[in-house]
Structure 1
């Protein structure tokens, strides 16, 4: 499941609401944080009402991060969670100030998220002893605004396996690429490896890790190009690879929908249908080194393989029988390793940078 974040530090603008409408087409969850200054409590209650109404209208889950006296400062009571449910809030992410006995009690009323990184065997034992409803419990990792403080990928994988074994639903954040959250504007990822990665590539990597149930965008925005990639994948089931022109006469030949062959190759994605049916003459062009992400088409020197379209998974040497027709943009190169046997992918021009 994929979700997005909405922050309450200011009133939602028409632009904010328009993007939320776009995201609600494919995303199924929302996250917001109620870390509030005391003198702004009235604004936060109003803003949470707007976000909650949107969540209910679009049938989205809404997880709210609370800390300390945040609920009380906004005019809510932790003893009357039904008020939040009425607004459209479906879950609360609890901090360390709330003990496991209370958490177990709350889990019988709504979904409760705990800090995935700091959960211990002792916590799990206590939650079971207090009869927590583990079908309502989630383990959410933090996001890390400061560069170099994001979590280690291997450590997160191991932690997530343990959390899954305990019965938790596991969530992580990946960075956005529009309207990054201040004051550092350096993305809001869980993993440090994802800080400079495109949101879609980071999200697909986490989804395919096998240890994550939900991936949320940490920052408050995505570019139109990223939204399109998510929608292509979540609505239509294919991964889009954006490419740049390499000066080949055969760029138009490789643009379009493809399916990776069922017999998955080590070095390349092989378009299953590219050289079958009517194949136009492909003249040889100057051979060049095939970088990772090179999109190639076999020329007439490859005889019956003429017209085969491939995407390179690694650097391959120049071959006079192979034309380099396009190059996957750097942001999308990490996606190639996630296109497996039989998966559909689309090659399209990177219009933003043309």
Structure 2
């Protein structure tokens, strides 16, 4: 999660961190872009918060810019100030010439150096070409407080691939609808991707993990609600869990197939549906008569083969293209806001369905 010590109350920050730690959060992005106090006051404030966070098991990355170095009278050639605060790394909000970043990565304090990922240029290769200390190089996207200014998905993918292709650990931001605190007076949410700005926090997070391009998801604004923290703490980052509105005509066995089974998309895919075929073997001897729901299916509908479908009885499918088939029963529908996640149910992908 993210903390903004110059815009928040330390007691509220600590309460937020404690709740997050209870739900499995382990990393803090802490902004230093807008510090206004003197060096002594800044030191006391940040040391106190970072020290408390360490007792909860957090690592902390400080977001810094050249102006902060000038303001506090410190140098990129000596990062001991940040180590004394207790930080585990610094994020360079602005870059240098490559040679400088490579040299900084050998800092004797062994602080991680986090690079801005949100530019599709050869920045990383330039740094690595100066024989950087690779294990201490990380990547982190920007967030975008102004509506309409977040990254488009294709650009985000291109930027992220540059880092993943080198095995660099990556991070990006999601935004909490409940959050009101950020670094600037404009705060229309703090996502990396513009498409995430108005989505539920759990869907944003699932999407970033589903891209297989992001290792760490950070909540950009503060404070996420307790309910949101609990939802993210329970989220399975390793496979998609698609939210489904269960049809009132779905039978008990259909609900069991839909909501309890481990689903796997067949490797020999089709454009019309996502096929989860293993379940039909488990339920081969279980009757499943046709019922009265519509058999005209739209994208996002969840269907299960009924008794008239022969060997395909009790096979679960998610509709990708509209079609009609009376041999399939409509049992649920993926929510409209989550339908874009179907693009990430790739060949052999494992997925779950969860009632909403």
User: Could you tell me which of 293, 298, 306 is aligned with 1:291?
Assistant: 298
Bigger mean CA deviation after superposition, 217-226 or 301-310: 217-226
Q: Structure 1 residues 126 and 256 mapped into 2: Cα distance closer, same or farther (>3 Å)?
A: closer
Q: Partners of 1:119 and 1:319 in 2: how far apart?
A: 46
**TM-score in terms of structure 1 length:** 0.78
User: Could you tell me which of 261, 264, 269 is aligned with 1:265?
Assistant: 269
Q: CA deviation at 1:211?
A: 4.5
Q: Partners of 1:44 and 1:264 in 2: how far apart?
A: 58
CA contact (8 A) 2:101 2:127 kept: no
- The 5 Å alignment of 1:81-120 reads 81-96=79-94, 102-109=100-107, 110-118=111-119
Structure 2, unaligned runs of 5 or more: none
Number of aligned residues: 341
Q: Structure 1 residues 302 and 98 mapped into 2: Cα distance closer, same or farther (>3 Å)?
A: closer
Bigger mean CA deviation after superposition, 75-84 or 291-300: 75-84
Bigger mean CA deviation after superposition, 276-285 or 218-227: 218-227
User: Could you tell me which of 316, 325, 331 is aligned with 2:322?
Assistant: 316
CA contact (8 A) 1:229 1:240 kept: no
Q: CA deviation at 1:151?
A: 2.0
Q: CA deviation at 1:86?
A: 4.5
Question: Aligned residue for 2:333?
Answer: 327
User: Could you tell me which of 4, 21, 33 is aligned with 1:7?
Assistant: 4
Question: Aligned residue for 1:233?
Answer: 236
Q: Partners of 1:340 and 1:7 in 2: how far apart?
A: 38
Secondary structure of the equivalent of 1:38?
coil
Are 2:308 and 1:307 equivalent residues in the alignment?
Answer: no
State the superposition RMSD in angstroms: 3.6
CA contact (8 A) 2:173 2:220 kept: yes
Structure 1, unaligned runs of 5 or more: none
CA contact (8 A) 1:179 1:222 kept: yes
Q: Partners of 1:18 and 1:308 in 2: how far apart?
A: 44
Q: Partners of 1:333 and 1:307 in 2: how far apart?
A: 23
CA contact (8 A) 2:275 2:318 kept: yes
Question: Aligned residue for 1:256?
Answer: 260
Q: Partners of 1:154 and 1:247 in 2: how far apart?
A: 38
1:102-124 residue CA offsets vs partner (Å, 9 max, x unmatched): 54443112211233345855786
- The 5 Å alignment of 1:36-115 reads 36-39=34-37, 44-70=42-68, 81-96=79-94, 102-109=100-107, 110-115=111-116
Bigger mean CA deviation after superposition, 111-120 or 137-146: 111-120
CA contact (8 A) 2:305 2:316 kept: yes
**TM-score in terms of structure 2 length:** 0.78
CA contact (8 A) 1:91 1:113 kept: yes
CA contact (8 A) 2:91 2:115 kept: yes
Q: Structure 1 residues 180 and 335 mapped into 2: Cα distance closer, same or farther (>3 Å)?
A: farther
